[in-house]
Structures are given as structure tokens and as C-alpha cells.
């Protein structure tokens, strides 16, 4: 009976840890507010933005930043067309209101958080499994004698 109880607790803990890891990776860096293009340009031209980060995608800019009154971990996100008109509007507003602007070039290869997690944990899991297999085989050898 104790053995069944221990195994159930082990599997329950394993499931809880797995759910915790999934929750952490899926809720990382969610934007506080999504703005439309018009809302973004209105707020930007009113001088309510304190920081901007532009990430050029295929035909759009993914813009994230902070509004006045936002806390450190709060930000907005907007998608703006990658056009000369949009760039001019953003440049004029950042110069006029002295807004810090950063243009980030996307990396060629992005490594997912899941890939990083698995490549760091699988070798450790293999070592632990080998350790337990050796430990069990030594224990069986002692019982056989």
C-alpha cells in the first residue's frame, strides 16, 4: 500500500512541475495592451510614449513600448506598416517629444524557450536515470547473494 501511495505522489508531483514549467513559458512577456495603428500614432503624436522599440518584420514593424504612467514590466504592442510614411511619422514624433527609440534587427535564428529547456534538462535526466539504474542493479545484486 505504501508503495502505491509513493508512486501516486511521485506522478502527481511530476505533473505539477510540468504544468508549472508550461505556465511559466506560455505567460512570459505578454503585452499589457495591444494598440491599433491609429491608436498608436495618436498616442505617439500626443507625446504619451516614453520608450519605443521597433522590430522590422516582413512588411510591418512590430512596435512595443511604454506609455507614461506604465510600470517597468508593463508595455504596449502595435503593428505598423513598414512604409516611408509610417517611419516619417514615428521619427518626427520621437524628435518632437524626445522619446527614446531603439530599432532591433530580428535574429536569423531564434531558439525557442522549449528547445532551450529540453537541451539543458535532457542530459541531466539521462544522468539521473543512469544513476538510478546502476543503483537498482547494485541493490538486486546484493539481494541475490
Task: Give the strand order in the sheet containing 100-103.
Answer: 33-35, 76-81, 60-67, 49-56, 100-103
Helix 84-97 crosses helix 37-45 at what angle (to 10 degrees)?
30
**Which residue in the block uniquely carries the three cell numbers 503585452?**
31
Over residues 125-137, the pLDDT tens digits come to 999 999 888 888 8
Full-prediction pTM beyond 0.75?
A: no
Between 3 and 28, where is the model more confident?
A: 3
Cα-based distances in Å from 67 to 6, 28, 47, 53, 95: 52, 20, 9, 12, 16
The predicted pLDDT at position 4 comes to: 58
The predicted pLDDT at position 126 comes to: 92
Distance CA 29, CA 71 (A): 14
Distance CA 79, CA 28 (A): 20
Distance CA 61, CA 52 (A): 11
The predicted pLDDT at position 21 comes to: 79
What is 32-108's CATH number?
A: 3.30.720.210
pLDDT bin (cut points 50, 70, 90) of residue 108 is low
Instruction: Name which of 56, 59, 71, 61 is nearest 40 in CA terms.
Output: 61
The predicted pLDDT at position 29 comes to: 54
Give the domain ranges of the chain: 32-108
Amino acid at each position: 500500500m505504501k508503495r502505491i501511495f509513493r508512486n501516486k505522489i511521485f506522478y502527481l508531483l511530476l505533473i505539477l512541475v510540468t504544468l508549472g514549467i508550461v505556465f511559466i513559458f506560455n505567460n512570459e512577456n505578454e503585452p499589457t495592451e495591444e494598440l491599433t495603428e491609429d491608436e498608436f500614432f495618436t498616442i505617439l503624436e500626443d507625446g504619451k510614449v516614453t520608450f519605443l522599440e521597433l522590430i522590422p518584420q516582413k512588411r510591418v514593424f512590430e512596435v512595443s513600448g511604454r506609455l507614461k504612467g506604465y510600470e517597468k514590466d508593463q508595455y504596449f504592442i502595435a503593428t505598423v506598416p513598414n512604409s516611408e510614411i509610417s517611419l516619417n511619422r514615428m521619427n518626427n514624433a520621437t524628435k518632437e517629444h524626445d522619446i527614446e527609440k531603439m530599432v532591433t534587427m530580428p535574429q536569423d535564428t531564434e531558439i525557442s524557450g522549449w528547445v532551450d529547456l529540453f537541451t539543458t534538462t535532457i542530459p541531466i535526466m539521462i544522468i539521473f536515470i543512469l544513476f538510478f539504474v546502476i543503483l537498482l542493479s547494485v541493490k538486486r545484486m546484493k539481494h541475490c547473494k
